[in-house]
């Protein structure tokens, strides 16, 4: 005996497929536009101050058709800086998107929760107390972020992890870490103060291609895990009970997602210091562009890259004589966004 589907099934399925097509189309368009914005900002940073000709000459030199006069200015100084800024922005944007989606709280980001602060404290300690420099400081920063994240997770654990408790514990740990960094700064030698300050505000600096290559390889290695996490975040967004009913081990999925986010934030901090608020603002901006697209990790990463490149331009044009670190610019913008978020939540009678 055969059964026939209700007459309303076919129109409902057609409508559902239409919604999905429109969602995919909008996601593709927005992602493409963000990629173009990142490319335009990257070109603007490279060509600032009339260096457009050198950029074109350097590009022609790569295929043997140019004089290569811009090899030093573009190839050794500006291009590695732009490449690192893009990679750091992508890593922080994706990390912030994962944190906020897993914990269900717009305040959940590695810089506010103390993960980036843990990297800063470990880097400062390695400089002041151990006399380390170079790549070893970056390794210490990675270890510091991992230790801070583990401490927050253990303190927030109560038969599982809830976003509200995790954020409160993270903010407390962040304040303690900031105090530790301040103490280390007061104990620093004069020659070490500048190096420690970089680990307090964040700066792209003048990286070498080796640094860019290491970060690029690390992000590529994490890319498959990011794809796995992105799929699981869509299920976790339905709620713990629904996700469990669909066969997802909720706590294990949450722990994996947080581990990937911590790794991304730690890597970005190890190469650029704690660039403030990039992870905090990237995902909310992406969600406003794609309100029904789930975790929006790739768009959030592109927004993060655009934010850092935009801060680079602002630092170069607005305060060129001061050479302000990019972390100061992003911190000012992020602080304004945080105040707006709190005011908007208060008007709705909610808590951020």
1 band by pLDDT with thresholds 50, 70 and 90: very low
Q: Which residue has the tokens 């959940």?
A: 108
255 band by pLDDT with thresholds 50, 70 and 90: confident
Least-confidence region, from 27-31, 266-270, 288-292, 347-351: 347-351
Distance between CA 46 and CA 198 in Å, rounded? 23
| Nearest alpha-carbon partner for 88 in 304, 281, 327 | 304
pLDDT at 16 over 90: no
Q: Which is higher by pLDDT, 154 or 351? A: 154
Q: Residue 126: its pLDDT value, please?
A: 85
Cα separation values, 286 from 27, 84, 148, 299, 339, Å: 10, 21, 27, 6, 19
Q: Judge contact between 125 and 188, C-beta under 8 A.
A: no
Instruction: Compute the chain's Rg from CA coordinates.
Output: 22
Least-confidence region, from 57-66, 82-91, 278-287: 57-66
Q: Residue 332: its pLDDT value, please?
A: 82
Cα separation values, 87 from 17, 179, 238, 257, 302, Å: 35, 29, 31, 19, 9
Summarised one tens digit per residue, pLDDT across range 19-58 is 667 778 888 899 999 999 999 999 888 887 656 667 777 6
Mean per-residue pLDDT over the chain, rounded: 81
68 band by pLDDT with thresholds 50, 70 and 90: low
Phi, psi of 193 (to 5 degrees): -60, -45
Distance between CA 61 and CA 63 in Å, rounded? 5
Q: Selecting from 1.10.3470.10, 2.40.30.170, 3.40.50.300, 1.10.390.10, what CATH number does the domain 79-347 have?
A: 1.10.3470.10
Distance between CA 149 and CA 223 in Å, rounded? 20
Q: Residue 352: its pLDDT value, please?
A: 46
Query: Which residue ranges make up each domain of the chain?
Result: 79-347
Mean pLDDT of 51-75: 65
Which pairs count as long-range contacts for 221-226, CB under 8 Å and 24+ apart, including other chains? 222/260, 222/263, 222/264, 225/256, 225/260, 226/94, 226/260, 226/264, 226/297
Summarised one tens digit per residue, pLDDT across range 124-178 is 888 887 877 777 888 888 889 889 989 998 888 877 666 678 888 888 998 898 8
DSSP one-letter string for 37-81:
HHHHHHHHHHTTTTTHHHHHHHHHHHTT-S--TTIIIIIIIIHHH
Joined together, the tokens standing for residue 215 give 């970060």
| Nearest alpha-carbon partner for 90 in 261, 318, 325, 211 | 261
Report which secondary-structure segment, H or E, holds 13. helix 9-46
Summarised one tens digit per residue, pLDDT across range 297-319 is 999 999 999 999 998 888 777 76
350 band by pLDDT with thresholds 50, 70 and 90: low
Distance between CA 184 and CA 179 in Å, rounded? 9
Q: Judge contact between 100 and 279, C-beta under 8 A.
A: no
Q: What percentage of the chain reaches a pLDDT higher than 70?
A: 79
């Amino acid at each position: 005996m055969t059964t026939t589907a209700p007459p309303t099934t076919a129109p409902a399925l057609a409508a559902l497929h239409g919604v999905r097509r429109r969602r995919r189309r909008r996601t593709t368009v927005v992602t493409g536009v963000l990629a173009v914005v990142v490319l335009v900002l990257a070109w603007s940073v490279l060509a600032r101050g009339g260096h457009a000709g050198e950029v074109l000459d350097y590009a022609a030199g790569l295929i043997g058709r140019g004089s290569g006069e811009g090899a030093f200015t573009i190839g050794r100084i500006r291009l590695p800086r732009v490449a690192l800024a893009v990679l750091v922005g992508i890593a922080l944007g994706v990390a912030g998107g994962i944190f906020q989606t897993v914990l269900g709280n717009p305040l959940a980001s590695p810089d506010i929760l103390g993960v980036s602060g843990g990297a800063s404290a470990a880097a400062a300690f390695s400089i002041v107390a151990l006399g380390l420099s170079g790549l070893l400081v970056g390794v210490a920063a990675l270890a510091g972020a991992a230790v801070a994240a583990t401490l927050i997770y253990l303190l927030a654990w109560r038969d599982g992890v809830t976003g509200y408790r995790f954020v409160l514990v993270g903010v407390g740990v962040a304040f303690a870490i900031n105090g530790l960094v301040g103490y280390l700064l007061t104990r620093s030698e004069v020659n070490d103060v500048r190096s420690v300050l970089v680990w307090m505000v964040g700066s792209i600096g003048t990286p070498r291609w080796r640094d860019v290559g290491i970060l690029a390889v690390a992000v590529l290695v994490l890319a498959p895990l990011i794809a796995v996490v992105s799929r699981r975040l869509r299920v976790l967004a339905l709620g713990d009970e629904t996700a469990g009913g669909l066969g997802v081990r909720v706590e294990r999925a949450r722990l994996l997602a947080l581990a990937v986010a911590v790794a991304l934030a730690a890597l970005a901090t190890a190469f650029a210091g704690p660039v403030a608020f990039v992870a905090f603002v990237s995902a909310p901006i992406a969600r406003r562009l794609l309100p029904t697209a789930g975790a929006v990790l790739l768009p959030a990463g592109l927004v993060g890259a655009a934010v850092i490149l935009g801060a680079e331009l602002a630092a170069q044009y607005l305060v060129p004589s001061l050479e302000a670190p990019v972390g100061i610019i992003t911190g000012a913008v992020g602080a304004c966004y945080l105040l707006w978020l709190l005011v908007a939540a208060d008007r709705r009678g909610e808590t951020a």
